A = this chain, B = another copy of it.
Amino acid sequence: MRINELKPILGKKRSDAALFYNSDSSKINANMFYFSGYKGLGALVIPKKHAPFLIVPEMEVQRAEKSMIKKVYSMKKKRFFESIYKIARKNRLNTKNIAIDKSSFTLNSYRHFKKQFKKIKARDIAFECLKIREIKTEKEIKILKKSCAYADKILQKAIKNFKKFRTESEASAFLEYEAKKLGLELSFSPIVASGSNGSIPHHEPSNSRIKKGFCVIDFGVKYKGYCSDMTRTIYVGKPSKKEQEIYNLLLTIQKNTINQVKNNKKCSELYDFVVKSLGKYKNYFTHGLGHGVGVEIHEMPNLSLNSKDRVKNSMVFTIEPGIYFPKRFGIRIEDTLLFKNKPVLLTKTSKDLLII
Interface residues of A (CB under 8 A from B): 24-27, 39-41, 57-60, 62-63, 77-78, 102-111, 124, 126, 167, 169-170, 172-174, 176-177, 179-183, 185, 188-189, 199-207, 286-287, 296-298, 304-306, 324, 326-327
Contacts and interface: CB of A to CB of B under 8 A. Distances in A.
B106 A188 contact: no
27 contacts: A25-B188, A27-B27, A39-B204, A41-B202, A57-B287, A62-B326, A62-B327, A63-B200, A63-B202, A77-B306, A78-B305, A102-B111, A103-B107, A105-B106, A106-B106, A106-B107, A107-B124, A108-B126, A169-B181, A169-B182, A169-B183, A170-B181, A173-B179, A174-B177, A176-B177, A182-B207, A183-B207
B177 A24 contact: no
A83 to B, nearest CB: 13
A296 B26 CA distance: 9
Given A57-B287, A181-B173, A200 B106 contact: no
Contacts of A183: 167, 169, 205-207
B39 A304 contact: no
A330 to B, nearest CB: 10
Contact of A62 (B107, B199, B297): B199
Given A108-B102, A108-B126, A176-B176, A298 B169 contact: no
B59 A287 contact: yes
Contacts of A107: 102-103, 105-107, 110, 124
Nearest to A172: B180
B26 A188 contact: yes
B169 A304 contact: no
A161 to B, nearest CB: 13
B110 A103 contact: no
B173 A180 contact: yes
Given A106-B104, A200-B62, A201-B59, A169 B173 contact: no
A124 B108 contact: yes
A56 to B, nearest CB: 10
Residue among A105, A107, A199, A205 with most chain B CB within 10 A: A107
Contact of A189 (B59, B111, B185): B185
A116 to B, nearest CB: 16
Residue among A39, A60, A286 with most chain B CB within 10 A: A286
A26 B173 contact: no
Given A63-B200, A304-B78, A58 B180 contact: no
A319 B183 CA distance: 29
Nearest to A178: B173
A174 B24 CA distance: 25
A207 B177 CA distance: 14
Nearest to A327: B62
A330 B287 CA distance: 47
A72 to B, nearest CB: 13
A58 B27 CA distance: 27
A172 B181 CA distance: 8
A244 to B, nearest CB: 24
A331 to B, nearest CB: 14
A60 B200 CA distance: 7
Given A26-B297, A27-B27, 18 more contacts: A24-B298, A26-B188, A39-B204, A58-B286, A58-B287, A59-B286, A62-B327, A63-B200, A77-B305, A77-B306, A102-B106, A107-B124, A108-B124, A169-B182, A169-B183, A177-B177, A177-B180, A182-B207
